[in-house]
Structure 1
Amino acid sequence: MTLASVVANAAHAEDIAVLTPYISSVATNEIVETFKKDAAGKGWNVNVVDTRGDLQQLASRVEDVTNAGVKAIVLVSVDPKQIGDQVAAAAAKKIPVFALDGALAPGVTASIATDNFALGTILSDKLFKQLGGKGNIVKFYYSAHPGVHQRELALDKALAANPGIKVIAEHYVKVPGPIDDSRLAMETFIRQHGTEIDGVWAAWDEPAIGALLAQQSDAPDSKMVIAGIDGNPQAVDLIKQCTDLIATVRQDFPGIAHSAVTEIANVLEGKPVSKQEIQVEAKVVDRASLGVTCPQ
């Protein structure tokens, strides 16, 4: 969707602008596609803008759709505080702003997401238990995303409570392209640390997949425990295949989108949102939950 078409279409009464820097992310794309499907049932005209990791362009595009007079703005996988001036300008024009898989911030009508600190805690507990409470791990993180940063904070708390677990290497993942970037980083860590690496804590599934690919190619005889978050279909398949990727924490991305459409519909009818901060549930996906028995 071009900027010109976004602006041109904004004259319609129920135009909704969906903006994200991360449409290439499996999780973000699932939210957006589900939102579009539900919104179509409401007769809304949904315009999706992807800025491919560029937050400055995102800010500019939010200004564009605000000036065009859309009925609502939906930010997906964004920290609204990073574009606070633009969110405030939209709110000043009485345009409701919804943050999906993001965070609550001034000017945001409602935030709909998973409790990301809880996700990080679940991931850390699963990984540490699998390691028997001791071992060396590699950490893949991305603090620019508010939810992913909360997972990192949860890891910090878990590490403080589990002194037998040590982070011996860490990598700030580049986005877009997290699988390839994480694979390259993991290849470096394997050269540096070799069999000292016992596990991988990945703040979401793409880095976990990249780390696994590096392990399979550069250290195929090693044994690691790798875990991530989101329930990426590729990650689930790798868990089923009895690789060293042993678990993920599945977020209810369709649930986030469904809830957003319900809340926006209420606001468009002049009703208040049910609450400003709405959280959806998550569940662990591992071999047991998938009914998979792997050889010892």
Structure 2
Amino acid sequence: MKSKVSKTMWLVSALAVMALFLGACGVQLPEQEAADGQQSTAAAGGDLRGKRIALIMEFNTGTFSQQYVQGVEEEVKKFGGTLTKFVADNDKAKMASLVESAVNQHFDAILTDHGDALLEPGLKKAVERGIPVVVFDAAVNVPGATVLSQDDQKMAELTLEQMKKDLNGKGKIVKIWVAGFAPMERRQQSYAKFMEENPGIEEIASFGSAQNPALDTQAKMEAVLKQYPKGEITAVWAAWDEFAKGAARAIQQAGRDEIKVYGIDMSDEDLQMIQDPANPWAASAAVDPTDIGRVQVRYAYQKLHGDEPEANVVLEPVYVHRDSLPDQQISTAELSQYVEGWGQSAQGKKDWMAEYEVSK
């Protein structure tokens, strides 16, 4: 009996050693081949339905953010996934904590909206664990993550050049912006260059806050209007549509129709204001916020499919001026009929994604 047990133990040990040897030489056993086959099928895509997607936002303020979220929701639903949204209420440290939490909850993909370098440790952890990461509008450096951004410098240039044209190169302006946000910092770079090259345009006031931005801007703009009576302000340049809304309301209520507002970003609410001939907001440069959400999701699903998308994706803006719009009120969904390049972006689409569009 003892001899049989010894022989059996010897045979088991020999088989184990053989398996280790074959594995080291790159030879696969049948069980390993089956497991690797399943893994390679998953890497190549397979059925991507049922994925859990986390969207982590620094803030969810204003109609731009609402339409962006709408785009994310629509595209995740198209792929048959489920979306969970987390909002940090303008608290960057809280946002970083939410990213860590999403990693620990084993979401299949993580999307972020705004934020800064505080997100990097959590995003790196996600990448290391094989969780696809797609960042929007944040200056982060995380190898393996895809970062989406609008061409913020171009948007600033488009609005500043139109303002210069309307002012004939001379005038006194108010700038509304706030530091600490990657897109606004990039827009500020174009603004600084523009002001240096156009000495005939003078900045007489500058302010901005990300907390209740439209209401805060309206209150501060009202104070500036009292400080500078009619004829002393020519235009307002706003680095964010929430700022433009607040400034336009203050100017319109004060009856200061000599002042024009030039903004960045676009939502349905913004478009209504720009279309109103009595409103001082004359123009804006923007990317369709709903499209931004859709494109971000597509890149996440590319990664889930096993594709290797580019690390940096730039979304091209368009310029929307009141003169190009119809008399009747329209929404951003109809804007493509009047402004070339608006909406319905195919950016990030792959041929294999057609399967999910048909089965929607």
**Shared fold by TM > 0.5?**
yes
Displacement of 1:17 in angstroms is 0.7
Equivalent residue for 2:88, pick from 26, 30, 51? 51
8 Å CA contact 1:97–1:107 kept in 2: the answer is no
8 Å CA contact 1:198–1:223 kept in 2: the answer is yes
Q: What corresponds to 2:109 in structure 1?
A: 72
Q: What corresponds to 1:114 in structure 2?
A: 150
C-alpha distance in structure 1 between counterparts of 2:243 and 2:177, whole Å: 8
**1:100 and 2:136 correspond:** yes
8 Å CA contact 1:72–1:264 kept in 2: the answer is yes
- Percent of residue pairs identical: 25
Displacement of 1:221 in angstroms is 4.2
Displacement of 1:115 in angstroms is 0.7
Q: What corresponds to 1:3 in structure 2?
A: none
Q: What corresponds to 1:6 in structure 2?
A: none
RMSD: 1.9
Report Cα offsets for 1:246-285 as digits up to 9, x if no partner. Answer: 1111312233222222221121122211x11112222111
- Give the alignment of 1:11-90 within 5 angstroms: 14-79=51-116, 81-90=117-126
8 Å CA contact 2:146–2:311 kept in 1: the answer is yes
8 Å CA contact 1:23–1:52 kept in 2: the answer is yes
Runs of 4+ in 1 over 3 A off after TM superposition: 101-104
Q: What corresponds to 1:289 in structure 2?
A: 324
| Paired AA for residue 161 in structure 1 | E
Q: What corresponds to 2:166 in structure 1?
A: 130
Report Cα offsets for 1:89-146 as digits up to 9, x if no partner. Answer: 2223222221123345224611122111111111111112111111111111022221
In the comparison of the two structures, how many residue pairs are matched?
278
- Give the alignment of 1:163-174 within 5 angstroms: 163-174=199-210
**1:257 and 2:257 correspond:** no
**Distance change in 2, residues 1:222/1:259 (3 Å):** closer
TM-score by length of 1: 0.88
Structure 1: segments with no counterpart, 5+ residues: 1-11
**Distance change in 2, residues 1:272/1:259 (3 Å):** same
Q: What corresponds to 1:154 in structure 2?
A: 190
C-alpha distance in structure 2 between counterparts of 1:13 and 1:286, whole Å: 42
8 Å CA contact 2:54–2:110 kept in 1: the answer is yes
| Secondary structure of the corresponding residue to residue 115 of structure 2 | coil
Displacement of 1:222 in angstroms is 4.6
**Distance change in 2, residues 1:115/1:92 (3 Å):** same
Larger radius of gyration: 2
